[in-house]
Amino acid sequence: MQGPRSTWYVPQLYFNSIRVLCNANTSERFNPTKDASFPEINLKTGEITGLIGGPPPENRPILAFFAGRMHGRIRPTLVHHWKEKDGDVRVYDHESLPEGVSYEEMMKQSRYCICPSGHEVASPRIVEAIYAECVPVLISESYVLPFSDVLNWDSFSVEVSVSQIPNLKKILMGISEDKYLRMQERVKQVQRHFVCETRSQRDPLSTSINMGANKSKSKSRTNAYPSSAKHHQYDTYTSLDEVTAALSEAGLESSNLIIGIDFTKSNEWTGARCFNGQCLHFLGDTPNPYEKAMSTIGRTLSAFDDDNFIPCFGFGDASTYDQAVFNFYGNGRPCNGVPEALMRYRELVPQVHLAAGPTSFAPIIETALAIVEASGGLFHILLIIADSQVSHSIDARHDQLTPQEQATVNAIVKASIYPLSIVLVGVGDGPWDRMQKFTEKIPHRSFNNFKFVNFTEIMSRGEPAFKKEAAFVFEALMEIPLQYRAILDSSSSGTRGSAICFFSCGDLVFGCGHQTCFDCGRTLSMCPICKSHIMTRIRLY
């Protein structure tokens, strides 16, 4: 619906319908708690051939570009301050764009594309900028951006107030090169959400990889990809940016991070060699091992995170032991990005009482599964950082699993039917000798969803710090793209129909019409897709 006024005079529609508007203007009665903002797209020929993509940042000589008709009050202000005033900021009214100069090519030659409102707050220029992989500069008032409930626009665009138009160049020049490169990479990551595609072409993830239950009755389950795969050696990467690019090239498109931190008492002595005898949670002027691991992996994955929200949990302390987890925030809210996660960690450490007792990763894995379910089946990565392996009693036989080990194995196997990858990072002196044997005892899974990496061993190598960081992140995340593609392949191959897990057919239908497999859906009280209360369940045979 382009015109919001079309429902103003029909109260029943205005108050009771969900209006999907391109011109999502709160000053014109757009209700963000009920209505939806949709991107305005102008395809002159009906085709997007030639519009998608652009040169790399180093081949974009223009700082900022705008060309368009003069309507509304913002565009004339922009032209007044910047038309023919600065070679870095190319601003044209509709009549002054030089003959023979292509509007689309100018976007592709620019780092930033200026997107001011006209008569309406929305403009197809925003989508055109995203197509050209040009970072949008948003100048508007009262505009609710498309998909803003799930996309973090701050990560791939720049918002400038009308009053700051005279300072536009100063604002853009003040953005660091690293930040610009991250934003431009995010533009490429979110581009798929704005591309018009036919149903047969659609990436399963573009509307959430669990939408549209497959009606196939097939119950076959296969190992979605080999447990080991060819990959580049870690020593070919010298920076986190190179690892990020490699992950993107390997097929990783989108992920959501969950973090679990070990607060067992063994942290007090497992830093004897690697952390100068200090507790691994010691807070000093330099980051401790937990902070280093969180920071390096978090910075790498932030390029793939759509909303930048990170649920963070602790386990193994005096309040949870091996039975539960605690949220970093008492109200259950996630951290807003890695910087807040690190800040909150430093606030919590003095308050947490480390507890002696067995270690189990089952509670944090179960918590992650609940988050995946609540998201409707979006791909997540669970990062567990711990100072010790799962507890093994000296009284137990070498080949016998302890209750904590068995619970962890069961949780990992259960997680393999969810879009969840688990990365366990070992910090401290260890020992980690049982981890290899432990992973060998994990039975056949729908896909190989568990990876262990020894942080201490990698960071103790005699190499420059930046190279060790790159090696650590690559070692931790090298299997993620394969796992991600395995999940997408399973969701599109007809082997799944459940709205929750990824490898079971949808053989249980709720009254609302959505489906899960029987195992997932028989205990639910609320539909994971539409959130309506389940009154009726119908088993399909």
- Whether the pLDDT of residue 238 is over 80: the answer is no
**How much is the pLDDT for 416?**
85
Query: Averaged over 236-251, what is the pLDDT?
Result: 70
337-346, 379-388, 489-498: least confidently modelled range: 489-498
Indicate the average pLDDT of the chain: 80
**How much is the pLDDT for 474?**
86
**How much is the pLDDT for 189?**
85
At 125, the amino acid letter reads R
Residue 479 binned pLDDT confidence (cut-offs 50, 70, 90): confident
H/E run at residue 345? helix 337-348
H/E run at residue 516? strand 515-516
Residue 437 binned pLDDT confidence (cut-offs 50, 70, 90): low
Q: Which CA distances in Å does 285 have to 20, 73, 382? A: 50, 50, 28
The share of the chain scoring above pLDDT 70, in percent, equals 77
Strand ranges in 56-207 using DSSP code E only, listed in sequence order = 62-68, 89-93, 110-116, 135-139, 158-159
Nearest alpha-carbon partner for 252 in 493, 479, 502: 479
Cis peptide before 481 (omega within 30 of 0): no
C-alpha span between 55 and 440 (Å, rounded): 46
Residue 236 binned pLDDT confidence (cut-offs 50, 70, 90): low
**How much is the pLDDT for 341?**
96
What domains appear along the chain, each with residue ranges and CATH number? 4-37 (no CATH), 57-194 (3.40.50.2000), 209-228+493-541 (3.30.40.10), 234-478 (3.40.50.410)
- Whether the pLDDT of residue 365 is over 80: the answer is yes
pLDDT tens figures, 366-384? 999 999 888 878 889 999 9
- Whether the pLDDT of residue 433 is over 80: the answer is no
pLDDT tens figures, 278-323? 999 999 999 999 999 999 998 888 888 877 899 999 999 999 988 9
- Whether the pLDDT of residue 125 is over 60: the answer is yes
**How much is the pLDDT for 241?**
77
**How much is the pLDDT for 258?**
96
- Whether the pLDDT of residue 200 is over 60: the answer is no
Q: What letter would DSSP give residue 418? A: S
Query: Averaged over 154-164, what is the pLDDT?
Result: 93
Query: Averaged over 323-347, what is the pLDDT?
Result: 94
- Whether the pLDDT of residue 234 is over 60: the answer is no
pLDDT tens figures, 57-110? 999 999 999 999 898 889 999 999 999 899 999 999 877 788 888 889 999 999
Helix axes 289-301, 240-250, angle to 10 degrees: 50
Q: What is the reported pTM? A: 0.52
C-alpha span between 333 and 383 (Å, rounded): 18
Nearest alpha-carbon partner for 508 in 473, 541, 472: 541
Nearest alpha-carbon partner for 499 in 260, 210, 227: 210
Query: Averaged over 324-344, what is the pLDDT?
Result: 94
Q: How far is CA 105 from the centre of its chain?
A: 30
**How much is the pLDDT for 307?**
79
Residue with the bigger pLDDT between 348 and 178: it is 348
- Whether the pLDDT of residue 220 is over 60: the answer is no
**How much is the pLDDT for 248?**
76
Q: Would strands 420-426 and 450-454 be described as parallel, antiparallel, or unpaired?
A: parallel
Number of neighbours of residue 47 by Cβ within 10 angstroms: 9
**How much is the pLDDT for 399?**
63
Number of neighbours of residue 418 by Cβ within 10 angstroms: 24
- 191 in Cβ contact with 51 (< 8 Å): no
C-alpha span between 206 and 497 (Å, rounded): 17
The share of the chain scoring above pLDDT 90, in percent, equals 39
40-49, 121-130, 168-177: least confidently modelled range: 40-49
Query: Averaged over 179-193, what is the pLDDT?
Result: 89
- Whether the pLDDT of residue 9 is over 60: the answer is no
Number of neighbours of residue 312 by Cβ within 10 angstroms: 26
Task: Name the CA radius of gyration of the chain, rounded.
Answer: 26
**How much is the pLDDT for 202?**
40
Residue with the bigger pLDDT between 327 and 475: it is 327
Which residue do the tokens 């002159």 mark? 44
Residues with Cβ within 8 Å of residue 248, at least 6 apart in sequence: 185, 189, 303, 304
Query: Averaged over 116-132, what is the pLDDT?
Result: 90
Maximum Cα interatomic distance, the chain, rounded to a whole number of Å: 85
